[in-house]
Amino acid sequence: MAGPDTPPRKGGEGPGTAVITRTKPQTKRPSLYRVLLLNDDYTPMEFVVHVLERFFNKNRDQANTIMLHVHHHGVGECGVFTYEVAETKVTQVMDFARKHQHPLQCVMEKK
């Protein structure tokens, strides 16, 4: 049987046998994350609208609607992104708010 002339069969190949190498598609959809703005009593409304236009590509009306939602409900969604994009948005908003000395908070959460 397996000797110098007949290398051992590793994959189960041979008469009457088969190996199924893959049973599911190799693509996986990435996890998605919501980026949220939190309300506070000090950040000017116009600054929040500007943040939504600048970092989340909202038009003036969309930005106003989201800002007012956050103002009235305490939290609101700016967008949904893959992990690294969401992390970048949060960092950009937090850096921009700090630079302008506003206490605006931006966070991400898994969908």
Can residue 52 be called a binding residue for ligand TYC (CB under 6 A)? no
Can residue 70 be called a binding residue for ligand TYC (CB under 6 A)? yes
By CB under 6 A, which span of 11-19, 20-28, 32-40, 52-60 interacts with ligand TYC? 32-40
Report, in Å, the least distance between residue 83 CB and ligand TYC.
Answer: 22
**In this structure, is the dihedral angle defined by the CA atoms of residues 100, 103, 109 and 111, taken in order, positive or negative?**
negative
Residues 72-75: contacts with CB under 8 Å, at least 24 apart: 73/39, 74/38, 74/39, 75/36, 75/37, 75/38, 75/39
Chain centre to alpha carbon of residue 42: 28
Which member of 9, 31, 45, 82 binds ligand TYC (CB under 6 A)? 45
Can residue 77 be called a binding residue for ligand TYC (CB under 6 A)? no
Can residue 34 be called a binding residue for ligand TYC (CB under 6 A)? no
Report, in Å, the least distance between residue 47 CB and ligand TYC.
Answer: 8
Can residue 67 be called a binding residue for ligand TYC (CB under 6 A)? yes
Please, are residues 40 and 105 in contact by the beta-carbon 8 Å criterion?
yes
